Amino acid sequence: MARWNSKLASAGQRLRAVAAHLPALATMHGEQAKRGLTLVETLIATLIMALLASATMSAGRVVLVMERGAEDSWRAAELGLGLLEEVATLPFNDPQSGGTSIGPELGEWVPPGNRALFDDVDDYSVWNGSQTLQQKDGTAINLPGYTRAVSISYVTAGDFSAVSLLPTDYKSITVSVFEKGDLVETFTTVRVEGGRDVDFDG
Ligand SMILES: [Ca+2]
Ligand SMILES: [Ca+2]
């Protein structure tokens, strides 16, 4: 009996010892939980910051692309409309020969790339986009990568979008502006014989 009493006393001591540690264990779990929560919060905060940074960078890229797009359009308009005006304000036919063939007359296209001798609208039809970007007098235009091409064709009186293989009183002039070979914009007008251009589409 004394042996059993001794065993019970020993078990009781062990239980009291475990019970005495329980608050400490509970506190430890609480601290671990607190530390875990802090880590989760930190991770979430980091994730949110990363997302915000990503969103900010994306927005920045969009603004940059828009700015570049606007700049490209502005340059294209300046280059395209400038050349379109240069072409459209020339005589409808060559002042010397009066010829009706599309293209420059003899001696006007020497050397290739120099348009200083162009004196009527359709002389520019040889301007295919491979020429150096410059003013008509040869002054360089410092916009690396940009080129311009011109296409000229007779169009019908009733429909300016309909090309005529025979001479008419209407020549459609289209200037295309390229950047590094990619088309940026086209500008079109129709020049009337004896009159001003009557239609514009840029
Ligand atoms: Ca000419
Ligand atoms: Ca000509």
Residues 150-198: tens digit of each pLDDT: 999 999 999 999 999 999 999 999 999 999 999 999 999 999 998 755 5
Rounded to the nearest angstrom, the distance between the alpha carbon of 124 and the centre of ligand 2 is 8
Question: Is 2 within a domain?
Answer: no
**How many independent structural domains does the chain possess?**
1
**By three-state DSSP, how is residue 137 classified?**
coil
Query: CB of 173 within 8 A of CB of 84?
Result: yes
pTM (2 d.p.): 0.66
Residue 196: closest CA among 99, 88, 114, 59: 88
Residue span of the structural domain in which 104 resides: 82-201
Rounded to the nearest angstrom, the distance between the alpha carbon of 172 and the centre of ligand 2 is 14
Rounded to the nearest angstrom, the distance between the alpha carbon of 87 and the centre of ligand 1 is 11
Taking only the tens place, the pLDDT of each residue in 64-102 is 777 877 888 889 999 999 999 999 999 999 999 998 999
Question: Is 100 within a domain?
Answer: yes
Question: Is 64 within a domain?
Answer: no
